Structures are given as structure tokens and as C-alpha cells.
Amino acid sequence: MESILKIENIAAGYGRVEIVKGISLHVSKDEIVSIIGPNGTGKSTFLKAIFGLVKVFTGNIFFDNEDITGLKPHQIVKRSMCYVPQDNNIFPSLTIKENLDMGAFVRHDDYSKNIEEVYGIFPLLSGFKNKKAGELSGGQQKMLAIGMSLMLKPKLLLLDEPSAGLAPNMVDEMMKKIELINREEKAAILMVEQNAKRALKISNRGYVLSMGKNMYEGTGEELLNNKDIGKLYLGE
């Protein structure tokens, strides 16, 4: 299947400090792709660079066959790519419904059907429409953050550690939701995960990054069965 995202050898970072030191990667329109790797290796910086939040020094980013290198986040969102950061991704003092309205802030059409779709994926949220988002559990807040991004009908979702801090049963639930979104909403997924094994289990492919560079890539199964990766990154 055709690529929705193609990244050619990008370097990126803060000020003049290079954190991402040459990463290439691609995601097909129907794929779930995971990025794993040690702490501080630049995984979050890499996602931010794709979304225009961090300066790209060299290399190119193609989204849906268009070169988007150097575009700002608001320009990238308009092209139907959404980014869900690890933290601070909801408005705690607003209700669930108001948060979903915020997710649709750039839309000028009637998005009520879309809200119902999000409640369909996360039925739990529909029971709490008028509850303040800050009163939800950590896992529910993460689901809401993803729900907000779905208000824009993304072709590609960038997820930074969607299962971080969740209880083990919620991690499974989150992975199931990610599969559901990929299948039903037809959104390609590129996610960074610490729960590497569980992420690779639902991923078509994965990339292992280390010190800002590509180390390994392969299908989810190949990476799960690779002994070196198991020892270094999967806690075996």
C-alpha cells in the first residue's frame, strides 16, 4: 500500500543542538507502526519534528505525497495529520463534550456525527459527557485526548506513549482502541511506546531508535523475536 508518511534522513533538535541525527522511516496508509528505544534517545523529539514543533535541520518529510518539511503545526493539521502528546493533552476544567468541541476547533461544518463516532469508539466517554475532564482517570484522559484528535478525521495519528502510566489492563484496552481506530477510522498510526512488546504485537512494523538514529527495523513479529532487541529493549 502507498505511503502516507515518508521521512528521508532527518536531523532535528532544539536551538543548535542536534537530537535526531538522521532518521528515515515510512508509514503506509493502512499501517500501525511503532517506534521503540531507550529513554532520552529522541523519540519524542522525532515525533515533534514530524509535526512541525521542533526545527528540522536537514532531510525531508513527505505527507500524502507532499513535502511538508518546515511547515507549522496548524498547516500540518489542516492536511489531516494529528499529534497527541504524552502529557497535557486535554483541558481539565472543560467537560468531555467541550474538549471534543475543542478538538474540532478548525472545523466549520457540522461535526455532530463525528462526536457520536468518537463516543462509539470510547463508549465510556459518552456516559460522562458533562463531567469535567480533570475528574477522569489517567486512562480515560488519554482516551479523551485521542478522541479529540479523531474530531479532525486524521489520515495519520502520531501518538507519544499512549499507554504510559496506565494500569496493565488499561494498557491492553488502549492497544485494542488503537487497533480499532486504525481499522474503523482508517487512520494510519505512528506511535512511540515504552510498553514495547504490547505495542509491537499490534504493529505491522516497528523501528528501534538509539541515540537519534535508526538501529533496527522490521515487522512487529520480527522485532519481537529478535534476541538482541529482546535483551536490550523488551526487558528479556
Ligand X SMILES: Nc1ncnc2c1ncn2[C@@H]1O[C@H](COP(=O)(O)OP(=O)(O)OP(=O)(O)O)[C@@H](O)[C@H]1O
Q: State the residues that interact with ligand X by CB under 6 A.
A: 14, 19, 39-45
Closest distance of CB 105 from Mg ion, Å? 26
**Piece of the chain touching Mg ion by CB under 5 A; list 38-46, 136-144, 163-171, 193-201:** 38-46
Angle of the 112-121 helix axis to the 168-184 helix axis, nearest 10: 140
Residue 39 binds which entry of ligand X, Mg ion, none, CB below 5-8 Å type-dependent: ligand X
User: What cell was used for 140?
Assistant: 480515560
Closest distance of CB 236 from Mg ion, Å? 22
Is residue 52 classed exposed, middle or buried when 0-12, 13-18 and 19+ CB atoms within 10 A define those classes? buried
Closer CB to ligand X, 44 or 149, in the complex = 44
Closer CB to Mg ion, 100 or 192, in the complex = 192
Q: Give the span between the Cα atoms of 154 and 80, in whole angstroms.
A: 5
CB 151 within 8 A of CB 107: yes
Can you tell me which residue has the cell 513479529?
221
Told to check if 195 binds Mg ion by CB under 5 A, we report: no
Closer CB to ligand X, 86 or 95, in the complex = 86
Q: Give the span between the Cα atoms of 174 and 97, in whole angstroms.
A: 20
Closest distance of CB 110 from ligand X, Å? 38
Closer CB to Mg ion, 6 or 48, in the complex = 48
Told to check if 44 binds Mg ion by CB under 5 A, we report: yes
Told to check if 34 binds Mg ion by CB under 5 A, we report: no
C-alpha count within 13 angstroms, C-beta hemisphere, residue 125: 27
- Residue whose beta carbon is closest to Mg ion: 44
User: What cell was used for 230?
Assistant: 529482546
Residues that bind Mg ion (CB under 5 A): 44
